[in-house]
Amino acid sequence: MLCVRKSYALPTIILICLTYFLFANLPPGAESPSVNERTESPDTPDQANDGRLHFTKKSEKYPVSEYIPLPTAAPSPIPQIQYDFPPESWWGRRQRVKRQKAVKEAFTHAWNGYRKHAWMHDELSPLSGDTRETFAGWAATLVDSLDSLVIMGLMDEFEEALKAIEHIDFSTTHATQINIFETNIRYLGGFLGAYDLTNGTYPILLKKATEVADFVYASFDTRNRMPQSRWEWTRSAEGLGIEPSRNTILAELGSLNLEFTRMTQLTKDPKYFDAIQRIADEMEDAQKKTRVPGLWPLFVNAQDMSFPDPRFSVGGMADSAYEYLPKEHMLLGAQTKQYRKMYDAAMDPIKKRLLFRAMTRDGKEVYFPGNIQATLSPGRETLEPQVEHLKCFLGGTVGIGAKVFDRPDELSIARKLTDGCIWGYDIMPTGIMPEIMYISPCKHLESCPWEEKKWYKDVRDRLAKGAQLEDLTGMAKSLIQKHGLPPGVTQIADAQYKLRPEAIESVFIMYRITGDQELQDAAWRMFRNIEKMTRTEFAHAAIDDVRDPHTEQLDYMESFWLAETLKYFYLIFSEPDLVSLDEYVLNTEAHPFRRPTAA
């Protein structure tokens, strides 16, 4: 509905339009405003010359009386993460640089397509050359790619992008809701990563970061100071109250730490750290009280800060909440033990209740994290052996945790998790892992001989449960052929590849930790297959079915393709001191924040 104000419009029409504008399109899980909130007298809207509503700072409804301070003690030593790489051979360097140049060419191809066809828009549609506005219309791909340009030495392109960001107005948007998590990791993270990577040489980056941070900080102005994750920013702009949702995605609540901490470190403004520390304290307090002590469920009642959801996973909707535990510890310079405690509490149930080994025909020892739905009898829940591309981050996270928290026995788990995702790529006809698939799980982690009949039964149970068993083998073979299932796979629930970075992220991290060149070779296989299947005239596109070498391409390319996926491919073929993991913490969008240095 479009409400157009005219000077001769009747007051009743104006009132109807205003009411619709303010209260329509509530975010998923958001509560309708209370009667008191609906009858509040809004502040006079802030209108710029463009006729759009603009957000300006207003008196908070629930101000903080005393900020929780950023730890000020000297940073403590953190164990070294990166492998001590020996001098490179002439042949090794030649091969590595050749691969690195191929990644850079792919990045340049996609960047030039965005620059020519979608400049200042959020995303390029890589088949049609059209544009998409998916993250409030603030040029998401441009901001998300800033530090990638620096890392790849594309400084002319970087300087051009810097001039463009001056024109981004973070006080207004056509979007009715702001996804705080995505705005935080892509925009705020993008500015902070480029600022840190260029050693603060370009003040405009911190200026724009502050604009974004101050804008989204208003989403914390709720009764309990928990953010409204799908923020109704127009209500705040009108001076009306907001509340956090009773159905808040875990990752959207628990993945604001790094960016807001770095803002306080750089600006000395305590409000940012205070905001996320309140979340951390609530999550730590609740961690051992959930249905699976040590883990948080997929959804949180952020209005009451309760955790009744019975579903537990480290995949989509949960992933970065766990990823940020060791990373926040590093960014704080190990000045507190809070994140170590939270990581320790989480790892035990992850290992005991989520991890499983995939049954593979060649006996390869690969691990994946599954899902569980908690029951009234703890420990008796059924593990769902779901493999999700988004879960591939876990190998790198466990690898980092093993190093910084001195848990060396878990390095082998990290490697097996990473090898699992490499296996997921290698078994597909396109050489690319699907978005979601199900695997035949081993009964034990230690020993797992290949059992053809077990695979057949698992396929039948997944795809034709309840069918007659007269010919299990024949039925299973028919299902396997019909659905294009490689050995050990029981279902491919989503066959798309969406240009995701999580697998190469863990391969990169484990390479930097171990120095194992087999990981570089795996990365090269992954890159060549992805480049072959996704390249378009304008850039790169998601694909519809990784089982089909002639699959259809899809007309979208999210900003993380340039911000993360190609960055990780480039870095694994770079010299190891480029964005060293002992100098930087990478946020969940691969933006590097400089770590404090211990005395």
Q: What is the pLDDT of residue 57?
A: 86
The full DSSP string for 366-404 is -EEE-EEE--SSTT-PPEE-EEEGGGGGHHHHHHHHHHH
Integer Cα distance of 305 and 224 in angstroms: 9
- First-to-last C-alpha distance (Å) of the chain: 60
Report d(CA 236, CA 220) in Å as an integer: 10
* pLDDT band (50, 70, 90) for residue 18: very low
Q: Where are the beta strands (DSSP E) in 144-233?
A: 178-179, 230-231
pLDDT of residue 126: 98
Instruction: Indicate if the pLDDT at residue 230 is higher than 50.
Output: yes
pLDDT at 479 over 60: yes
- Please name the residue ranges forming H helices in 427-516: 452-463, 472-483, 502-514
> Is the predicted pLDDT of residue 25 greater than 60, yes or no?
no
The residue whose two tokens read 């006996």 is 363
Q: Which two tokens stand for residue 101?
A: 């140049």
In the chain, % of residues over pLDDT 70? 90
- 168: nearest Cα among 131, 220, 205, 194: 205
Q: Which residues, in sequence order, are CB contacts of 140 under 8 Å at separation 6+?
A: 122, 123, 134, 186, 187, 559
Q: In the predicted model, what is the mean pLDDT of residues 396-403?
A: 98
pLDDT value at residue 73: 84
- Name which of 141-145, 460-464, 527-531 the model is least confident about: 460-464
| Residues found in the chain | 599
pLDDT at 174 over 60: yes
pLDDT-based confidence at residue 123 (cuts at 50, 70, 90)? very high
Q: Which of 51-65, 212-226, 258-272, 308-322 has the lowest mean pLDDT?
A: 51-65
β-strands 371-373, 311-312 pairing? antiparallel
Check whether 36 has a pLDDT greater than 80: no
Q: How far apart are CA 4 and CA 459, in angstroms?
A: 57
Which residues make up each annotated binding site for Ca(2+)?
588
58 in Cβ contact with 239 (< 8 Å): yes
**How far is the C-alpha of 436 from the C-alpha of 415, rounded, in Å?**
21
**Helix (H) or strand (E) run with residue 326 in it:** helix 319-331
277/73: higher pLDDT: 277
pLDDT of residue 471: 82
Q: Is 8 helix (H, G, I), strand (E, B) or coil?
A: coil
Q: What amino acid occupies position 103?
A: V
pLDDT of residue 419: 98
Q: Please check the confidence at residue 105 and state whether its pLDDT lies above 90.
A: yes
Identify the pLDDT of residue 49. 67
What is the model's pLDDT at position 380? 72
Is residue 509 scored above 60 in pLDDT?
A: yes
pLDDT at 104 over 60: yes
Mean pLDDT of 128-147: 98
**Which pLDDT band holds residue 19 (cuts at 50, 70, 90)?**
very low
- Tell me: pLDDT of 51 over 90: no
List pLDDT tens digits, range 554-565: 999 999 999 999
Listed by start position, the domains of the chain span 11-25+79-440+488-594
User: What pLDDT band is residue 50 in, cutting at 50, 70 and 90?
Assistant: confident
Residue positions forming the annotated binding site: 588
Tokens standing for residue 137: 């219309």
Write down the number of H helices and E strands in the chain: 23, 16
Residues 181 and 256 sit within 8 Å (Cβ to Cβ): yes
Decide: helix, strand or coil at residue 103. helix
Residue 70's closest CA among 322, 325, 269?
269
User: Distance between CA atoms of 477 and 522, rounded to whole angstroms?
Assistant: 30
Give the model's pLDDT for residue 379: 61
- Cβ atoms within 10 A of the Cβ of 317, count? 17
Q: Whose structure tokens read 């609740």?
A: 286
Q: Which residues contact 104 (CB under 8 A, 6 or more apart)?
A: 152, 570
Give the SS3 label for residue 591.
Answer: coil
pLDDT at 29: 35
pLDDT above 70: residue 42: no
Reference 562, options 198, 279, 271, 158; nearest CA is 158
| Dihedral angle over CA of 445, 449, 450, 452, nearest 10 | -110
Assigned CATH class of 11-25+79-440+488-594: mainly alpha
Question: What's the mean per-residue pLDDT of the chain?
Answer: 92
β-strand pairing of 386-388 with 383-384 = unpaired
Mean pLDDT, to the nearest integer, of 148-177?
98
Q: Which residues are catalytic?
A: 182, 319, 435, 502
The pLDDT > 90 percentage for the chain reads 87
pLDDT for 274 equals: 98
Please state whether 543 falls in left (phi above 0), alpha (psi between -120 and 50) or beta. Answer: beta
pLDDT above 50: residue 14: no
Angle at 52 between CA 51 and CA 58, to 5 degrees: 120
Q: Check whether 48 has a pLDDT greater than 80.
A: no
Is residue 41's pLDDT more than 50? Answer: no
Q: What pLDDT, on the 0 to 100 scale, is given for residue 267?
A: 98
Residue 212 phi, psi (nearest 5)? -65, -45
Q: Supply φ then ψ for residue 499, to 5 degrees.
A: 70, 25
**Helix H or strand E encompassing 355:** strand 355-357
Binned at pLDDT 50, 70 and 90, residue 74 comes out as confident
Amino acid at the residue 456: Y
d(CA 273, CA 281): 12
Taking residues 523-536, report their average pLDDT: 98
Residue 469 pLDDT greater than 80, yes or no: no
Residue 27 has pLDDT above 60, yes or no: no
* Predicted confidence (pLDDT) at residue 30 exceeds the cutoff of 90: no
Three-state secondary structure string covering 277-318: HHHHHHHHHHHHHCCCCCCCCCEEECCCCECCCCEECCCCCC
